[in-house]
Amino acid sequence: MAQRRKSEDSKHHPIFHQAVEQFKGQEITVIEVEEWGIDGKPAIIHATPMNLDEKNRVNRYGSKEDLSALCEVLILKARDENGDPIFTRDLKPRMMRELDPDVIASVVKQIVGEEEDPDQAAGN
């Protein structure tokens, strides 16, 4: 598979390759969440920037009234220091009922970036 991608990539324009490298080179956001801390230490969440596919998934929720898009961002992007998901799709109903919506909104805002609010990431 890697060999096939390499040969396919060689036929694409150098600007495309540079655009791919630029996106890959973006920094991982590290978020400290005091409210979710363990043993007196804040929880640490790592998140890579959202790509277009992930933004499309979140945009499917489509209305400001559907705040489940915030949970979707966490499911897609929140990782531990090893890169393992912190939240999974099967936890989404519990996330919707049992987690503090203000903390979720704060974390999502940091994941999607300061210039873009969570509602915009959700397509609203």
Contact between 121 and 67 under an 8 Å Cβ cutoff? The reply is: no
Find the range with the poorest average confidence among 6-10, 58-62, 81-85. 6-10
The domain limits of the chain are: 27-121
CATH class of 27-121: alpha beta
Q: At what angle do helices 52-59 and 68-77 cross, to 10 degrees?
A: 150
- Specify the DSSP class assigned to residue 12: S
pTM equals: 0.77
Dump pLDDT digits (tens) for 21-70: 999 999 999 999 999 999 999 999 999 999 999 988 888 876 666 789 99
